[in-house]
Amino acid sequence: MLLSSILKSNGAASAASIPFEACRVTDPPKLSRFGFLPRSVCVGIIPYYTPACDGPRTVSAYAVPRDYHIFVRAAAERIADDFGAAFPGERIRVCGDNSPIDEADAAARAGLGVIGRNRLLITPEHSSFVFIFEAFSTLPPEREAVEPGRCLDCGRCAEACPAAFGDPEGCLSALTQTKGELSPGQEELIRRNRSVWGCDVCQLVCPYTERARRNGTLYSTDPWFLEDNIACPDPELIRDGQRFRERAYSWRGPGPILRNLALLGEGGGKE
């Protein structure tokens, strides 16, 4: 059995294993906590866009389903069990959005997609609406890494950006997650775009997204992502501790999203 097969049987739509040395380490301390030096990284992708994302919404598409970290944690346990049974004596560590490497770069080097001007991984089947996770292990890689490909460079993402394209400090998605007071101009940007968390504009106008929609491959088919979709959270949800903890925006605390809801005239206020 290949490690990529184990990832696919536990939720990955596609997966590929490449040499660890081909990956770009961005957080050495996280790597040191593994307790072993990986020989390979098996990168998997999970599509998350659902039909609920097509209607009115005030949060980014990735935040419409329940927090995908919950999905990855459960998958990591299953992967570890399957791995232990298939490869006794070998070591493994599964990461998702908490990785010591540049995840999008590694996925592109694994041949799973290309890098867009917005620095996101764009896959041929699901466009950029995918989560990335990795299994670091002592197994040898299943394939050689490739040079990361680039998108069509059509410029649609830059033209459509409602804020300052390419500037992390000026990104609307980052702005909605900022704690504390905002300037009048920043408040107006949130009101005008009706976003209480995140922004998908650069992804939605992408020709890869249009193609995935035409081909019928844009949407997730995993039941986990199709249940409990909330496209427009309200203050009641944010103040419900149990329900709030199940959403992708809970890590930032209730303050920013309640502030943004208030800016849209939908209650909220300071927490």
Give the catalytic positions in this structure: 97
CA distance 180 to 176: 11
Question: Cα 137–223–200 angle (5° rounding)?
Answer: 80
Q: If we measure between CA atoms, which residue out of 91, 95, 79 comes closest to residue 138?
A: 91
Contact 30, 57 (CB under 8 A): no
CA distance 181 to 170: 15
Residue 254: helix, strand or coil by DSSP?
Answer: helix
3: Cβ contacts below 8 Å, ≥ 6 apart: 15, 17, 40, 42, 83, 87, 135, 137, 139, 142
Q: If we measure between CA atoms, which residue out of 30, 158, 52, 51 comes closest to residue 103?
A: 30
Give me the sheet containing 149-150, strands edge to edge: 121-122, 114-115, 149-150
Encoded tokens for 126: 């699901």
Q: If we measure between CA atoms, which residue out of 191, 146, 114 comes closest to residue 18?
A: 146
81: Cβ contacts below 8 Å, ≥ 6 apart: none
Q: If we measure between CA atoms, which residue out of 139, 132, 55 comes closest to residue 97?
A: 132
Which amino acid, 29? P
